Amino acid sequence: MNMNIHKIILGFISGILLLCSACGDKYVDWRNGPVEPYEPEDDGSVWVRPTEGIRGRPVWGFRNGIRIGIHPLSGPRGLIRVYTPYTLYSGPSVDKMINFIAFEPTPHGKGKGFSEMENSALDRVQGKRFWSGNTSDPTAFPDPQYPAAGVVSTEHGVEKLRVYIFSEQFVNGADVYVRITFSADNPHRFELETLRREDSPELRYFVLSATMGNYARLRTLHLADGVEKVSTALWPSYKGTGFTDRNWTPFTQMITDKEGGVWYIASPNEENPGDVANINYPAGTHVNWFYYGLFATQYWYCPTPTATLSGAVNGRYAYWSSSASIPGGISFENFEMQENFQMGQKYVFGVTLLKLALFAPFFTRYSLNRNRYSPRPGQKTGQKLLKNSFGRKIKTTSK
């Protein structure tokens, strides 16, 4: 993107945000995010999305499923928020995100960019500015008070919601954005298509990194042939307050499906991670880190992987910006796929309440341990639940 266009857009955004610091709003304090729990009114639509031309919240997704949001909603800048109200059974608000997704582009011959960590060129505050659009034109909806509604269409009989999320240019020159698609028959996942603007440097990588695995205390990676990687075994002696080095998994060791797609799957190693009353959170742990949710499996899926694809995780022993140790030991923090950049490559991020026993028969090269991965007591099974979580028709029954 031309730098002059960036300056115009970002200058406009800055003015709006400064103006809003003196404004009131039913749901949002535009400096600090939501000021009260929010649940969208039921208008009969499957979707939650802004109303175009009306000041509103930048949230898109399913009324009864997964959603995304961007700043100025609560949380750091330079991150897509991932909301999964269907995983929560208690706690302060459905506004609590289960994870974030960062943009991390790397042009050829240059270092990696970090959307969460880099300062904005606009105000020198940490975190790149994100904004929304209905098309690939980044100038159409620069005002964060009036986000794009997204576009609803019907394809092959299935309703879809699409929205573009843009970022200001990175220090390394990368100028990237994503197109996000929700499909009405898959309410627990969404697709991200990685894109760059014409005047951006050529990219070696454009990584989408889920950055907050330690909130749900993800500790187990599920790989091909029944192999698992467990965070406490990968870094058994680490007790620091920073990040561990990344651990890499080539795509040849990942679970594949019968259509050639590759799955990178992470779950907690606790049966009931949201039983807050019985979790030993250390004194001084901020309440924001208390997980009020059900056992939920998070995953990345690439339907058309290249031979360069790999998965990576790092770990944290203590919560971010804190010395409070994570109950149960070190957990995964960043959770991502990486491969050589291809314009328009698609990745799916999902959060499901299913355990592996209910969808493993769809995979190839997966050896199921039924004792460990049996359904929870009362777990619903069946074709509809499987399709809702993974978008595939899988013939299986629990045993």
Read off the pLDDT of residues 254-304 as tens digits, 9 standing for 90 and up.
Answer: 999 888 999 999 999 999 999 999 999 999 999 999 999 999 999 999 999
DSSP string, 264-304: EEEEESSS-TT-GGGS-PPTT--GGG---B---EEEEEESS
Residue range 160-184, pLDDT digits in tens:
999 999 999 999 999 999 999 999 9
Best CA proximity match to 336, nearest among 210, 250, 177, 206: 210
d(CA 92, CA 106): 38
Q: Residue 268 pairs with which residues in a beta bridge?
A: 218
pLDDT for position 365: 53
Best CA proximity match to 46, nearest among 203, 185, 235, 174: 185
Best CA proximity match to 137, nearest among 163, 106, 160, 161: 163
For residue 15, give every residue at least 6 positions away whose Cβ sits within 8 Å of its Cβ, in sequence order, or none.
Answer: none
pLDDT for position 257: 86
Strands (E), 168-309: 176-183, 189-196, 203-210, 218-222, 228-230, 247-250, 255-257, 262-268, 297-302
72 preceded by a cis bond (ω within 30 of 0): yes
* pTM summary value: 0.84
CB 356 within 8 A of CB 389: no
Token couple for 79: 């991150």
Confidence of residue 29 (pLDDT cuts 50, 70, 90): very low
Confidence of residue 39 (pLDDT cuts 50, 70, 90): low
**377, HSE (Cβ side, Cα atoms, 13 Å):** 2
SS3 of 136, please? coil
- Confidence check: pLDDT of 386 > 90: no
Best CA proximity match to 139, nearest among 249, 247, 36, 9: 9
pLDDT for position 88: 84
Strand order in the sheet with 97-107: 47-48, 59-62, 67-69, 79-83, 97-107, 203-210, 331-338, 310-316, 247-250
CB 363 within 8 A of CB 255: yes
Best CA proximity match to 151, nearest among 164, 161, 143: 161
pLDDT for position 361: 54
pLDDT for position 27: 30
pLDDT for position 38: 55
